[in-house]
């Protein structure tokens, strides 16, 4: 028997143990490919661009500069960041307040009703986002449906001046993102064990206290997921500020869009985007850490 064959004979145990690992990687391949193509590569391009310069035509020159980041921390843009966070925060809070009862009712509804009610939440998605936004313009404009309706009850009033105001922007944002709050909360409400609610009643909690000390804490994960799903895209939204807000108050999404479309300053746009992304990564990380610490303190 040759040495090689001997080695081969001695190895089967090892090889057997290793093959599944290779297969596991093979199974992961589609996901890894997806991640590389749609997450890693775009992020890498964004980061590289953010350190580049533009030439007069708007071409990206592959030099190294920190100027774009210096510009991001210009108070002008910092204020816009802050305002975007405020708008998105307000939107998120309204979505929680408006979406929670809806999600709760659907989640506690009878089985056969649940699917139908959920469908209603999704129906708006069957129409294009732009069309739905224009529908809101038709409702909110001065000679629109809302004011026409109000005049039915008190003729001669001037009506509300809503369109092209910050209020309209928040209405549009809440409308656009409400389903993303309802669905995850619904998920956690549906999973809620009815026995826990009964146990709380049994232990002397009235309906309000059952809600505040059992239902709310137990559906908090859904609220957290909804918050993430609403807050993050709401910060970057630009179409609604343009269409319903009359582009009067620029949010960070508008500034970034502007760099790519009008100002032809891709590197600066990329730097804004990178900071934006870093901000969320940091927030997310901090939230995770806080969650982990709580778990640790318990154990």
Partner 1 sequence: MKSHRLILPALLALAIGAGSARAAGELNLFGWSEYIPQSVLDGFTKETGIKVNFETYASNEELLSKLVAGGGSYDLVQPSDYAAEVMIRQNLLSPLDPRLLPNLKNIAPEFRHRPHDPAGRYTVPYMSGTVGIVVNTEKVKTPVHSYSDVFTPAFKDRIVVLNDTREIVTWALYTLKLPINTINAESLAQARPVVANWVKLVKVFDSDSPKTALLNGDVDVGVVWSGEAAILWKENKKFQYFIPTEGAHQFIDVLAIPANAKNKEAAHKLIDYILRPEVSVLISEAFPYTNPNQAARKLLTPEQLANPASYPPGSPKLETFRDIGKAAADVDRLVTDLKSAR
Partner 2 sequence: MNPMVDLRGVTKRFGAFTAVNDVTLPIASGEFLTLLGPSGCGKTTLLRLMAGFDTPTEGSVWIGGEDVTHRPPYRRPVNQVFQSYALFPHLTVMENVGFGLRMQRVGAAEAAERVHEALALVSLTGLDARRPHQLSGGQRQRVALARALVCRPKVLLLDEPLSALDAKLRRSMQLELKRLQRQLGITFVFVTHDQEEALTMSDRIAIVNAGRIEQLGTAHEIYHRPATRFAADFVGQANLLEARLLLQDADTVQVSVTGGLELSLPLAAWPAGATTALLAMRPEKVHVSRARAPADFPAAATNIFEARIEEEIFQGATDHLVLVTAAGTRLAVVVANESAYGEIFHAGDRVFCALHADDLVVVRAE
Q: Which residue ranges make up the site for partner 1 (CB under 8 A)?
A: 54, 56-59, 71, 74, 76-77, 79-80, 83, 130, 137, 141-144, 161, 163-164, 239, 242, 246-250, 255, 258-259, 261-265, 268
Of 228, 235, 227, give the one whose Cα is nearest residue 88.
Answer: 235
Q: What is the signed CA dihedral for 53, 56, 60, 61, rounded to 10 degrees?
A: -60
Sign, CA dihedral 289-291-292-294, equals positive
- State the CB neighbour count (10 A cutoff) for residue 63: 9
* Least separation in angstroms between CB 38 and partner 1: 15
Radius of gyration for the chain, computed over Cα atoms and rounded to the nearest angstrom: 26
Q: Which partner from the list partner 2, partner 1, none does 205 bind, CB cut-off 5 to 8 Å by kind?
A: partner 2
Indicate the residue among 225 and 249 with the shorter CB distance to partner 2.
225
Give CA–CA dist 255/273, Å, rounded.
10
* Least separation in angstroms between CB 142 and partner 1: 5
The answer to the question of residue 292 lying near partner 2 (CB under 8 A) is no
Say if residues 162 and 168 touch (Cβ distance below 8 Å).
Answer: yes
Q: Which partner from the list partner 2, partner 1, none does 206 bind, CB cut-off 5 to 8 Å by kind?
A: partner 2
Q: Which partner from the list partner 1, partner 2, none does 203 bind, CB cut-off 5 to 8 Å by kind?
A: partner 2
* Least separation in angstroms between CB 60 and partner 1: 9
Q: How far is the CA of 240 from the CAs of 25, 176, 269, in angstroms?
A: 43, 9, 19
Say if residues 98 and 176 touch (Cβ distance below 8 Å).
Answer: no
Identified binder of partner 2 from the candidate list 103, 173, 178, 214, rule CB under 8 A = 214
The answer to the question of residue 213 lying near partner 2 (CB under 8 A) is yes
* Least separation in angstroms between CB 119 and partner 1: 27
**Which residues lie near partner 2 (CB under 8 A)?**
193, 195-196, 198-206, 209, 213-214, 217-218, 220, 298-299
């Amino acid at each position: 028997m040759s040495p090689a064959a001997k080695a081969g004979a001695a190895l089967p145990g090892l090889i057997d143990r290793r093959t599944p690992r290779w297969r596991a990687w093979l199974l992961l391949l589609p996901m890894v490919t997806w991640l590389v193509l749609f997450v890693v590569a775009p992020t890498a391009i964004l980061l590289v661009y953010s350190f580049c310069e533009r030439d007069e035509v708007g071409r990206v020159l592959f030099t190294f500069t920190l100027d774009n980041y210096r510009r991001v921390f210009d108070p002008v843009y910092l204020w816009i960041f802050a305002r975007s966070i405020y708008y998105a925060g307000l939107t998120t809070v309204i979505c929680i307040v408006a979406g929670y009862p809806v999600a709760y009712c659907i989640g506690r509804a009878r089985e056969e009703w649940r699917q139908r009610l959920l469908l209603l939440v999704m129906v708006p998605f069957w129409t294009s986002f732009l069309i739905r936004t224009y529908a809101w313009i038709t409702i909110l404009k001065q000679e629109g449906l809302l004011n026409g309706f109000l005049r039915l009850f008190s003729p001669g009033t001037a009506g509300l001046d809503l369109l092209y105001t910050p209020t309209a922007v928040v209405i549009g944002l809440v409308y656009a993102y409400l389903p993303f709050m309802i669905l995850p909360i619904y998920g956690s409400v549906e999973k809620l064990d009815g026995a826990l609610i009964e146990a709380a009643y049994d232990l002397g909690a009235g309906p309000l206290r059952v809600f505040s000390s059992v239902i709310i804490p137990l559906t908090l994960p859904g609220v957290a997921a909804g918050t993430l799903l609403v807050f993050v895209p709401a910060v970057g939204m630009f179409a609604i500020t343009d269409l319903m807000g009359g582009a009067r108050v620029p949010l960070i999404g508008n500034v970034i869009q502007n760099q790519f479309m009008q100002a032809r300053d891709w590197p600066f746009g990329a730097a804004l985007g990178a900071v934006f992304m870093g901000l969320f990564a940091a927030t997310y990380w901090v939230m995770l850490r806080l969650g982990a610490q709580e778990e640790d303190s318990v154990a």
